[in-house]
Amino acid sequence: MITFKQLEAIYWITELGSFAAAADRLNTTQSAISKRVQELEQQFSVEIFDRSKRTARLTEKGAEILHYAKSLLEERDNFIERVSSNQVLIRHFRIGVTELTAMTWLPQLVKEIKTEYPRVSIEPEVELSATLFDRLMDDTIDLIVIPDVFNDSRCVVTPLKAVENAWMCVPELDPGGETLSLEDLSNFTMLVQGTRSGTGLIYGRWLAEHNIIPSKTIYCESMLAQIGFTVSGLGVSYLPVPVTRQLVRDGRLKHLAMRGDLPHIRYAVLYRHDRSSSFKKRIAEMAQQCCDFRTFFAESS
């Protein structure tokens, strides 16, 4: 009898390129994966993988079996999602977010998911936008929440809210209430996020479009480090208004008076078209409802 475990083994061996990687993905041993493949080969008297190659390469018959395995696994997943109640749906769900979401509305999203799907095991990870996008494409994460900078037809994109940013510095660096032009920014040391950051990528392009070349630039891969460097008086920076509100109230940061506003950074939920499901669509809908960049730390204190 054919089992879904056998079909999953073939699918993940092919997707990830090795028996060992498939074993890690399915939380089992390499010998168990090999046994599943061998059982299927013996049942139909065929070779699914070419053992003469170093990598796990399908035979012609193996490619045909994989085609049907994909369809059967997809139908199984659709069946589970359509007929199972929320209480019996069990899965591991890997969600990736950037620092800003982790600091603000992620706890509310996790709470909503747990309420509607109490037996789902949520595995959150915090990374830079480019890293999360690469992992989404590598299928090592299920869904990501990042600035909407990747225009890729392989993804389902659900737009979320935008976050307001402003130029900030310590009061000692403020030129005394004078309204500054964009050209005046060139006189400051500028603290910016790198191109692996979605926000850094957007503002890097924006600065280039306005021909702004600062006298000195300090790159920060972390938003928290960027805030810390700014509070330390190392330069001026664009920072999210909601999460720095308390620092401004305390007098540790000050908004620079500028003639032009910074563009807002719109966030989005992304997941792969070929891994789409009603479950992921529902998580994206929850994200739209929960998305609120006002820091919950400050609001709860």
Q: Tell me, what's the pLDDT at 301?
A: 40
* Topology alike, domains 4-83 and 91-158+267-300: no
Please indicate, yes or no, whether the overall pTM of this predicted structure exceeds 0.85: no
User: Of the candidates 120, 118, 123, 92, which has an alpha carbon nearest to the alpha carbon of residue 106?
Assistant: 123
pLDDT tens digit sequence for 286-298: 999 999 987 655 4
Mean pLDDT of all residues in 106-117:
91
pLDDT tens digit sequence for 228-265: 999 999 999 999 999 999 999 999 999 998 887 788 99
Which residues lie below 8 Å from residue 298, measured CB to CB, with a gap of 6+? 243, 245, 246
Residue whose token pair is 């061996």: 13
| Domain range 4-83, CATH architecture | Orthogonal Bundle (1.10)
Q: To the nearest whole percent, how much of the chain has pLDDT over 70?
A: 94
Please give the Cα distance from 109 to 291 (Å, whole number). 8
Q: Tell me, what's the pLDDT at 120?
A: 85
Domain ranges of the chain: 4-83, 91-158+267-300, 165-263
pLDDT grade, residue 111 (50/70/90)?
A: very high
User: Of the candidates 209, 263, 203, 270, which has an alpha carbon nearest to the alpha carbon of residue 237?
Assistant: 203
User: Of the candidates 179, 239, 185, which has an alpha carbon nearest to the alpha carbon of residue 212?
Assistant: 185
Mean pLDDT of all residues in 21-29:
90
Which residues lie below 8 Å from residue 127, measured CB to CB, with a gap of 6+? 96, 98, 135
The listed CATH number (3.40.50.360, 3.40.50.720, 3.40.190.10, 3.90.1200.10) that belongs to domain 165-263: 3.40.190.10
User: Coil, helix or strand for 76?
Assistant: helix
Classified by CATH at the fold level, domain 91-158+267-300 comes out as D-Maltodextrin-Binding Protein; domain 2 (3.40.190)
Sign of the torsion angle spanned by Cα atoms 83, 84, 85, 86: negative
pLDDT tens digit sequence for 167-206: 999 999 988 767 888 888 888 999 999 888 999 999 989 9
At 4, list the tokens.
């879904």
Q: Tell me, what's the pLDDT at 253?
A: 95
